[in-house]
Amino acid sequence: MAWFTIFLKIFFLLTPFFVISSFISMTAEYSPARRRITALKMTLAIIIVCLVLFWFGTVLFGIFGITLNSFRIGTGALLMLSAVSLVRGSPDARGDKDGEISVVPLAIPIAVGPGTIGALMVLSAEPVLISEKILSLSAVAAAGLLTGLLCLLSELVRRVLGVTGLAVLSKLTGLVIAAIAAQLVVAGIKGSFGIS
């Protein structure tokens, strides 16, 4: 799978525009310095979680005895639910605004939710060669980095796009995720029945 394809998939799975909306809302009363620190911590958390899931996905399949095709179908169903919630309206983004929000809930579960976790584990099972795995890891890290960068520039993004623009992009992200979910389910069903 091409680097850019993986990068785009992970980028959309991280629901960046919903993450930005949540970040703006939850850090509204923060000082600029605290907002930057929160964005940096969140970015680091997203990248670490994604890389660990991507690297150890196949190991977890082996431990739990789950087939890749079964996981594809389950992940596709979870992603479809996430997509529906994005298209119909933002999922619940509440959190402790007075406490540390960079890891929970911003990184997990707002950016890296159950559907994203499943998709990362499915993607991790696809590259066979170590060179392909490393290339894929760099794409995953780049997607997490770009999501964090957008949060660092959240005030600029909000001024350029506005609240309505962010809402529209969140819904479009939901449509892309729905397509990825459908693709996973179809691939899982085909694989389970040996259909090429």
Q: Give the tens place of pLDDT for each residue, 124-177.
A: 877 678 888 888 899 999 999 999 999 999 989 989 989 889 888 888 888 998
pLDDT of residue 1: 57
The pTM assigned to this predicted structure is 0.82
Q: How many domains does the chain have?
A: 1
Sign of the CA dihedral 168, 171, 177, 178?
negative
Question: What residue numbers bound the domain in which 144 lies?
Answer: 3-192
**How does the average pLDDT of the chain come out, rounded?**
87
Q: Which of 4, 116, 99 is nearest to 49 (CA)?
A: 116
Q: Does the pLDDT value for residue 97 go beyond 70?
A: no
> Using 50, 70 and 90 to split pLDDT, how confident is the model at 86?
confident
pLDDT band at 98 (very low <50, low <70, confident <90, very high): low
How far apart (Å, rounded) are the C-alpha atoms in residues 16 and 75?
19
Coil, helix or strand for 159?
Answer: helix
